[in-house]
Structure 1
Amino acid sequence: MEDDHNIDRHQANVPNETLTSIPHEDTTDEDRQRDLELFNKLSLDRDKLIREGTIPLRVQLQTNFSSNNFASGVFDHTGGHLSLPRHDINLFIPPGAIEDGRLQTIHIFVPPSMHRGKPAPVVHCGPTGTTFLDHVILSFPVDPNYDKIVPKFTNTEVGSEEDWKPLLEDDDAASIVQNGKCTLFLSHFTGFGADATEEGASPDKKMIRVGAFAAKHTSDDGLYKLRIRIYDASAAASEGIYNKERKLFGGRLLDDDKRMQIYRRGGALCVKMCGISRGWKTLDDSDENQVKFS
């Protein structure tokens, strides 16, 4: 199921030639490559200083790098942690998990857009194949509205076609799912995530997602077109909407879409614009539109 709701905004007193960027925190593959290149440079600079005896070892272990979707650091046998606060993702490395006398570079990141339409973010821990003497602990949020969350892992490389398997098939891993959080106990690094199942679906109810889409810039006429899309809650339907937006409008999701349960016989769904910033106004007189469901 899909429905489009177009809302035009007009920026007051803006010349037609002005191009207004809309802030967005999406991270692209190019951004990720820049993150890795910068961290590699920091690592090389750090190694050079250590070889020259300029800085002590304890300073080396404080050299971390992070962005919205990427965090990395160097750890020894004392352990430590990495976090992605935007995604509420945390990795804890306990003391003794890394061999005494060994330094280990570790990173975690969320591939761009891969978590959209899914009950949990996709988290890649690396370097892929890194093993530990004791279990490390990875935690990430899951959608609590699903009946059952199934933690999964993939041993495939980032960027290749992923082969997801239930974490239960990994004999040296364990998981706990409760209170909207999935906690994994891991002995090696790869990609992790989760799928969900819903039980006893009612014919009178339907799970949907609602997302706001727009292009990165205003058009030449100064209008900024915002599309509110309502679509099936499945990952396949969500991916189809994202591809359609990108191909037809150069659009993208402005924020995480929201999962909702609706009643098929409950009347129309109202979409209302509110909190419009100063300097902007809706093109028509109404800030509210209705979408009917059958």
Structure 2
Amino acid sequence: MYIEFILKKGILCEATIDHRQHSITVSRSGVKLEIPPGAVTSGKRKYVYVGVSWVDADRCNSIDGKRRVSPVVVCGPPGTKFNKPVILSFPHCVKYDEDQPCPLKVLWKNTNGGKRGGDKWTECSDEDTTLRVAIGENRCVVYTEHFTKYTCVCEQVDHPHEYLRLSVMAYHTVRSLTMPINVRVYIGNANPDEKEYIKREERDLRGTISDSTKFINLHGNSDLHINVEVESEGYQCKGDDNRNRWKYIALRITRNGKSWFAIVSS
């Protein structure tokens, strides 16, 4: 059992754990903390929390010249230690050529009074015996014995085989054919948890999704500025009978002169 809070500084899930297995998932973010049996001494209990930081000093787009491509994940209380590694996983939004060296690095940030390298982002090293990192197609996995902040950066975002992956999800409310089409457009990281959250919200609003989620590939390391505008809207017929008409709206998504389109239809 854990409790989730949405705060000005981020999203936070907290729990009190014991020697048994525990799993904590932070909604909308794709962040998950798994604590194996025996990580806490039998008969002992620990208060822990995990979440996503929205603090400006943490979520800066660039860290030492490298672009941040994942949430800043907070595990605490700072300095909390375990008998065996716990498993922290979170999504990243970079697609890269698997035949090339992986351009992604996981960083940790000391939050325990400067006792371990100062208040500075540091690359997770193979020489550090207290943690191990695995980076997959969509996620970073950190096996660690102590709590701090973690994030993922990309060293070569302007490489031609790399791009940031974002998804466009557009919904409209089903109404009479004579009513205007109201459209809600979501642009976010292409991770399943975030998309599932949007779908749940739209089910409450009785919204209808487009035929599929649209993906846009963003090359380069310039700041992200996206403009979304309505290209066209109206009705089309599937046959001679007007009762078979369906609504549609075409959205133009533009970044730095390059355009993508998302067609929304009922």
TM class by smaller structure:
0.5 to 0.7
Q: Deviations over 1:50-73 (max 9, x none)?
A: xxxxxxxxxxxx4x2113511000
Structure 1: any 5+ residue segments left out of the alignment?
1-61, 211-257, 263-268, 277-286
Aligned to 2:37: 95
Which residue among 86, 91, 108 is the counterpart of 1:136? 86
1:274 Cα offset (Å): 6.8
Kindly report the root-mean-square deviation, in angstroms, between the aligned alpha carbons of the 2 structures: 3.8
In structure 2, the CA distance between the partners of 1:181 and 1:78, relative to structure 1 (3 Å rule), is same
1:79 Cα offset (Å): 2.9
Question: Does structure 1 retain, via aligned residues, the 8 Å contact 2:22–2:34?
Answer: yes
Q: Taking every aligned residue pair, what percent have the same amino acid on both sides?
A: 23
In structure 2, the CA distance between the partners of 1:273 and 1:201, relative to structure 1 (3 Å rule), is same
Which residue among 21, 24, 36 is the counterpart of 1:82? 24
**Matches of 2:73 and 2:253, distance apart in 1:** 37
In structure 2, the CA distance between the partners of 1:145 and 1:75, relative to structure 1 (3 Å rule), is same
Aligned with 1:90: secondary structure?
strand
- Larger RCO, structure (CA 8 Å, separation 6 or more): 1
In structure 2, the CA distance between the partners of 1:115 and 1:145, relative to structure 1 (3 Å rule), is farther
Report the AA paired with residue 135 of structure 1: P
Q: Summarize the alignment of residues 206-285 of structure 1 with structure 2, pairs less than 5 Å apart.
A: 260-261=218-219, 271-273=228-230
Question: Does structure 1 retain, via aligned residues, the 8 Å contact 2:89–2:139?
Answer: yes
Which residue among 93, 96, 107 is the counterpart of 2:49? 107
Aligned to 1:186: 144
> Within the alignment, does 1:156 sit opposite 2:111 as a pair?
yes
1:170 Cα offset (Å): 2.7
**Matches of 1:167 and 1:121, distance apart in 2:** 16
Taking structure 2 as the reference length, what is the TM-score of the superposition? Answer: 0.52
**Matches of 1:260 and 1:176, distance apart in 2:** 24
1:195 Cα offset (Å): 1.2
1:156 Cα offset (Å): 2.6
**Matches of 2:69 and 2:109, distance apart in 1:** 16
Greater C-alpha radius of gyration: 1
1:171 Cα offset (Å): 2.3
In structure 2, the CA distance between the partners of 1:200 and 1:292, relative to structure 1 (3 Å rule), is closer
Which residue among 116, 119, 122 is the counterpart of 1:165? 122
In structure 2, the CA distance between the partners of 1:85 and 1:73, relative to structure 1 (3 Å rule), is same
1:149 Cα offset (Å): 1.0
Structure 2: any 5+ residue segments left out of the alignment?
62-67, 97-101, 167-215, 221-225, 234-250, 259-266
Taking structure 1 as the reference length, what is the TM-score of the superposition? Answer: 0.48
Higher helix share: 1
1:124 Cα offset (Å): 1.1
Q: Which moved more, 1:161-170 or 1:132-141?
A: 161-170
Aligned positions, number:
167
1:191 Cα offset (Å): 0.9
Question: Does structure 1 retain, via aligned residues, the 8 Å contact 2:132–2:142?
Answer: yes
**Matches of 1:94 and 1:208, distance apart in 2:** 33
